[in-house]
Amino acid sequence: MYLPDPVLACIDALEAAGYPAYVVGGCVRDACLGLTPHDYDMCTAALPEQTESVFAGLPLVLSGKKHGTVGVVSGGQVVEITTFRTEGSYRDNRHPEWVEFVPDIEQDLARRDFTVNAMAWSPYRGFADPFGGREDLEHNLLRAVGDPVRRFREDSLRILRGIRFAARFGMTVDTETEQAMFSQRHLMDNLARERVFSELCSILPRITSADLLRFAPVLTQVIPELAPLVGRDQKNRHHIHDLYAHTALVVEHCPPELSLRWAALLHDIGKIPCQTMGPDGQAHYYGHAAKSAEMADDILHRLKAPTALRQQAVILIEKHMTLPLPEKKYLRRHLGKLGWETMDALLTLQEADTLATGTAHAAELALFAQVRSLLAEIRRENACLTLRDLALNGHDLTALGYRGREIGTALNHLLNLVLEEQCENTREALTAALKEKSP
C-alpha cells in the first residue's frame, strides 16, 4: 500500500520509539479497492502523552487528546494519530460513555462499524484484519463488526453510515446487517439532527434511484414526510411510477449538487396533502409546489441545514412547476429575478422531473434544449438583466436633475424598456428615452 511521505514519517517515528503504528479505517479500505484515499488516519499503541513526546519538535493539534487523538503537523498536513481504544456504550445513541486506551490493535478494530472499515496496515507489520474485511470487500459485502443489532444500538448513526458505504461502493448488505438496519431504525430518532443532516449530505450526491428504493425504510425514518410517497399511485396518466420511485429518479437525474439534490428529494412531498380527484378519475395536485416548498423549509430547518442551502432548495421546489417559455424576453426577466445559477439549477430540476414521469414526449424535452440555447445566446450578448447592468446609474440620473424616488422609478422604467427590447442599453439611447418620457 502506498503511503504519502508525511504519514510514513509518522509511522517510522513511532516504531523507532517502540510503539506499533498503523494506518487504519477508510484509507485501507479505499486502497484495497484501488482508489486513492482522501485522507489517512493513523492509530498506535502509544498513549497520547507518548505520541506528544515522540513528536515534541513538531506543531501539534491537541483538541482531540481526551479521546486519544493527537494531530501532528508533518510535511504541511495534519496527520491524526489516535491511541488504540475501545468505547463504552452510547447512552444517548450519540456519545460513548467512556473511552479506554488498550494495548493492541484488535481491540481497537472491534469498536469500528463495518468489517471493511475495520482494517489496519503498516509497512512494518502488514495487515491487521481480524473480521475478514478484505474478504468482504472481495465479495462486495457490507457487514457490521460483531452483532449488528448491538452495534446499531450503541450508535444508530451507523445505520446511515451503512447506506453511505453501500451506496458509494455499490455493495450488497449482509442479510443480518440489513435486517438490523431496518429493525433498529427507530433509534435514529434520538440522533442529533446535525449528525443526521451531515450524513444525508454525504449520501445524497451519489445515491442512485435503486439505492433510494432499497433503503427507503431508513430514509423515511429520518424524513418521515417521505413515508407516504412510498408505493403511492399518482393516479395520473402522465406518471407511470409511484410517487417515491418518481422522486428517486428525479434525484438520480440531477447532478451531484447538494441544494439541487435536496430539492429533488423533497419536490413532491406536498402532493400528499394537495391531492384532489377529478371527475375523470384522474388525480390533480394543484398548489403542491408551494406546499412542498413550505414542508421542505420545515424539514431543512429541523435538520439544521445551512440557511443558504435551505433557501436555494426551497426556491427550486417552489418554482419547479413553472416551466420557462422559450422566449428571450421572458428569460431575461427571469434571469434578472433569479440569477444565472438558480435559473440553471431550476431548468435541470425541471428536466429531471419531466424525464422521471416516464411519459415525456420528445417535444416536451425539446423545450429544455431550446431554452438552454436561448440562455447561451443571452449570455453571449452580455445582456442587461438587472438595474446594475444598465448603462445609466443613479449618479447619472442625479446629474440629469432627478431626485429621491424619481431616480428609482426612472431606472426601473429604463430597465423595462431594455428588457422589452424597446431601447438599446447605451447611454445615448437611454438618455434619449428619458427625454421622451418627461418632455
Residues 20-49 that bind ligand ATP (CB under 6 A): 25-26, 41
Nearer to Mg ion, 26 or 71 (CB): 26
Give the chain's count of helices (H) and strands (E): 21, 13
Q: Measure the CA–CA gap between 367 and 348, rounded to whole angstroms.
A: 12
Nearer to ligand ATP, 87 or 318 (CB): 87
User: How far is the C-alpha of 11 from the C-alpha of 40, rounded, in Å?
Assistant: 12
For 284, the 3-state DSSP assignment is strand
Q: What is the DSSP letter of 240?
A: -
Selection from ligand ATP, Mg ion, none that 155 binds (CB < 5 to 8 A by kind) is ligand ATP
Kindly state whether residue 26 participates in binding Mg ion, applying the rule CB under 5 A.
Answer: yes
112 binds ligand ATP (CB under 6 A): yes
Could you tell me the three cell numbers for 59?
A: 506543531
Residue 81 Cβ vs ligand ATP, minimum distance, rounded to whole Å:
13
The minimum distance between CB 27 and Mg ion, in angstroms, equals: 7
Within 13 Å of residue 410, how many CA atoms lie on the same side as its CB?
24
C-alpha dist (Å) from residue 315 to 84, 275, 343, 346 = 47, 22, 10, 9
Q: Output 158 or 320, the one with its CB closest to ligand ATP.
A: 158
Q: Please identify, among the stretches 22-30, 240-248, 294-302, 344-352, the one whose residues bind Mg ion according to the rule CB under 5 A.
A: 22-30
Length of the chain, in residues: 439
Q: At its nearest, how many Å lie between ligand ATP and the CB of residue 41?
A: 6
With respect to ligand ATP, which residue has the nearer C-beta, 120 or 316?
120
Residues near 48 by beta carbon (within 8 Å), at least 6 away in sequence: 65, 68, 69, 70, 83
Residues 157, 299, 384, 434: which binds ligand ATP (CB under 6 A)?
157
Residues 6+ apart with CB under 8 A from 112: 25, 118, 145
Measured from the CB atom, the residue of 194 and 406 that comes closer to Mg ion is 194
Instruction: Report if residue 113 touches ligand ATP, rule: CB under 6 A.
Output: yes
Q: Using the rule CB under 6 A, give the single segment among 66-74, 109-117, 188-196, 348-356 that binds ligand ATP.
A: 109-117
Choices 151-159, 269-277, 311-319, 388-396; region in contact with ligand ATP by CB under 6 A: 151-159
Specify the residue, 117 or 348, whose C-beta has the smaller distance to Mg ion.
117
Residue 158 interacts, among Mg ion, ligand ATP, none and using kind-specific CB cut-offs from 5 to 8 Å, with ligand ATP
Query: Other C-beta atoms within 10 Å of 16: how many?
Result: 9
The window from 21-29, 106-114, 143-151, 421-429 that contacts Mg ion (CB under 5 A) reads 21-29
Minimum distance, C-beta of residue 79 to Mg ion, in the bound complex (Å): 13
CA dihedral (206, 219, 260, 209) positive or negative: positive
Which CB atom, from 112 or from 271, has the smaller least distance to ligand ATP? 112
178 vs 148: CA distance, rounded Å: 9
Q: Which stretch binds ligand ATP (CB under 6 A): 153-161, 179-187, 250-258, 364-372?
A: 153-161
Distance of CA 30 to the CA centre of its chain: 21
Beta strands across the sheet bearing 120-122: 60-61, 69-74, 77-83, 41-44, 21-24, 120-122, 126-128
Q: How far is the CB of 161 from Mg ion (least distance, A)?
A: 11
CA atoms of 22 and 9, how far apart (whole Å): 12
Among residues 245, 164, 247, the alpha carbon closest in space to that of 202 is found at 164
> C-alpha 347: how far from its chain's center?
19
Size of the site for ligand ATP (CB under 6 A): 10
Q: Which amino acid is at 284?
A: H
Interface with Mg ion, residue 37, by CB under 5 A: no
* Candidate segments 110-118, 276-284, 301-309, 349-357, binder of ligand ATP by CB under 6 A: 110-118
What residue 354 binds from Mg ion, ligand ATP, none (CB within 5 to 8 A, per partner kind)?
A: none
Cβ-based nearer residue to ligand ATP, 3 or 245: 3
Q: Which residues contact 429 (CB under 8 A, 6 or more apart)?
A: 423
Q: DSSP strand E in 76-174: where? A: 77-83, 85-87, 99-101, 120-122, 126-128, 141-142, 172-173
Question: Which CB sits closer to ligand ATP, 26 or 148?
Answer: 26
* Contact pick of 74, 117, 177, 312 for ligand ATP (by CB under 6 A): 117
Residues that bind Mg ion (CB under 5 A): 26
Residues that bind ligand ATP (CB under 6 A): 25-26, 41, 112-113, 117-118, 155, 157-158
